[in-house]
Structure 1
Amino acid sequence: MTAVVLAGDFPSTGILQATVAYRVGLDGGDEACAAFIDHVAYALGQRGAVLVVYPSWKGERARRMVRLARSALLTDRVAGVPLDVPPLALSLIADQLAFASGYARPGVLASLAGRLCESVYAGAWVNSVARMEHIKTGLGAHVSSYLPGNGFAVSAGPRPAVHRISASRPVPEPATRPADPVLMLFGHENGDVEWLQHRLRPVIGAVSVTAVAAQPMSAEYWGTRKYAEFVAFSGHPQALQSLLAGSPYRSCGWCGEPTALPECPFCFMVQPGPDAAPAPGPAAGRAS
């Protein structure tokens, strides 16, 4: 099995209660570094491999910590997995990876992380995009942030977009939609929850909408203290298995770890093209 560690201040949503990712804070000096290494060492001893998930939009310290842990513990069985998703989606995906860790080898699990980011629909209602840094916005959207209105619908993920909410078009057409049944989580800070419930929910066809605690990093991510962040995902019992089986995994030529990524997350060897022989199935073997 593989231990999944989420680096940073991203509390669990509580939706997947049986198995969740370990949470490790990164704030602080030498004590934080020592605590991180101790935590990784313990997880490594328990599971044999560790995936450290962290946000790519705030990843410099996490990347240094991962390199330090690999060096201090003299191991290549610790891999960093940067994900470009908002805080609420990041928390959910880390817990989904922890849930799947009992069914997939470490390299397969690292490959699954990107597929999970593509499978969810994440975004937020925000009152302004004037200070938004992590999602590209046009000059018109920035200017309109200073005008009276109903706010913005912002989509994150593989196809980010910013939509000015209007009476004629209160919700943009989602670029992607999870497989049925669609479940939605949201957390907010002075946000328009009515828009989530009565405008967004019917468009994506969510069968349930669950309020969770606001993520501590959400205000920084969205650039405002008036937001309603959401993530919609599939509640189908075979959703994770379908994602696991949907990628062509190949054995790394150096360390032998099956992966669908261009570079092995453990030994960093660049992988061959798609014509190479595939590796065994996702659940073949256990972490060593």
Structure 2
Amino acid sequence: MPTAIAVTSADLVLPPLDRGTPPAAVQPLDTLEQSLNGMHALIEQHGYVVVLYPAPAIGPAADKPDVRRLRTVRSVLESDRIALLGIDLPPLGLALLAQQLRQLSMCDFSPGVLASAARLLAHYIYAGALLGSVAGLDRVPVSMKSHAKSWMPGAQFAVLANPRPQLVRVGEEELPGPEFGTRLLVAAGQPPSDWVTASLAPAWRVQGVADVPLPAESTRWWGTGRLAEFAAGLFDVSVLYQLVSSVRREECHWCGLELIGDRCGFCAAPLPPPPELGQARAPAATRALPRGRT
């Protein structure tokens, strides 16, 4: 069975793009006992579990109760097969990332590569929102001028949180979009607006638009209920596969799993720094030894 992909609430589970995309699990569950039993079942069935959750705005100390529950579950089970990944994306962007990992879980990637691919794929997700007010927005820098304008009747702001934060007033500037083919997800709140589909989608030259429900966490994340959230990202599994497979793979020096990037997704151990110049010039016979032998 493929590596299980899990999220912290059911509204972060997007519909599969095809019949081959496995569903996402939801963790934690209502009680600690249910969470323990559910996670144990996922490990027994899939071998490894990758859990995505929204990274707190002010560091690990601000983790929500559900994240603390997940850490408790991993500790009680004493399992090194659970990756807990706090991702700094808005809720809809996180749901899109989970969908991408679900697609890739059917490929031949090892659990370690799949977990560490989350940070790579997040860089290619354009996540933002159309806001009726930025007075409560603390995730993206807001100037005093924008704060003042947000009190004007009918004011609307287009905000990009990832990959590079940016805020513009609708009708005055445009948000920079991706330079590659994407599919756009739109989750309309109150009041609804067609600006995302009528203006942003054509400007970004997206290859498809899908309406999805607004995640419950979105209102708190963006600081207002007057919003329409959007997220654009890669959707073709062959392109996603090529992106991940093009990155050099390493072996985690702590847990032994494969990884890409500079940090293991399961044990969080960083990749060791490159060897010093003197070590790099070790005798040829030593360099020829198989890894793990002396």
TM-score by length of 1: 0.84
Partner of 1:281: none
Which piece of structure 1 moves more, 131-140 or 16-25? 16-25
CA shift in 2, pair 1:172/1:99, >3 Å = closer
1:153 alignment partner, SS class = strand
Aligned residue type for 1:157: N
Q: Distance in 2 between matches of 1:44 and 1:237?
A: 25
Aligned residue type for 2:257: E
Q: Distance in 1 between matches of 2:116 and 2:266?
A: 12
CA shift in 2, pair 1:86/1:76, >3 Å = same
Partner of 2:216: 216
Partner of 2:104: 100
Query: For the aligned residues, what is the CA RMSD?
Result: 2.3
Alpha-carbon offset, residue 80 of structure 1? 0.6
Number of aligned positions between the proteins: 268
| Aligned 8 A contact 2:48 2:82 in 1 | yes
CA shift in 2, pair 1:199/1:132, >3 Å = same
| Structure 1 unaligned regions, length at least 5 | 278-288
Aligned residue type for 1:2: T
CA shift in 2, pair 1:54/1:137, >3 Å = same
Alpha-carbon offset, residue 111 of structure 1? 1.3
* % identity of equivalent residues: 31
Alpha-carbon offset, residue 25 of structure 1? 4.8
Partner of 2:87: 83
Q: 1:228-255, CA deviations, whole angstroms, 9 ceiling, x for partnerless residues?
A: 1111122334221122123222101122
| Aligned 8 A contact 2:27 2:70 in 1 | no
Alignment of 1:69-218 (within 5 A): 69-103=73-107, 104-166=109-171, 168-169=172-173, 171-174=174-177, 177=178, 179-180=180-181, 182-218=182-218
Partner of 1:5: 6
CA shift in 2, pair 1:94/1:274, >3 Å = farther
| Structure 2 unaligned regions, length at least 5 | 58-62, 281-294
Aligned residue type for 1:200: L
* 1:45 correspondence with 2:44: yes
Aligned residue type for 1:13: L
| Aligned 8 A contact 2:124 2:163 in 1 | no
CA shift in 2, pair 1:274/1:19, >3 Å = farther
CA shift in 2, pair 1:221/1:247, >3 Å = same
Partner of 1:284: none
Partner of 1:253: 253
Partner of 1:286: none
Partner of 1:67: 71
TM-score by length of 2: 0.83
CA shift in 2, pair 1:274/1:98, >3 Å = farther
Alpha-carbon offset, residue 274 of structure 1? 5.3
CA shift in 2, pair 1:268/1:230, >3 Å = closer
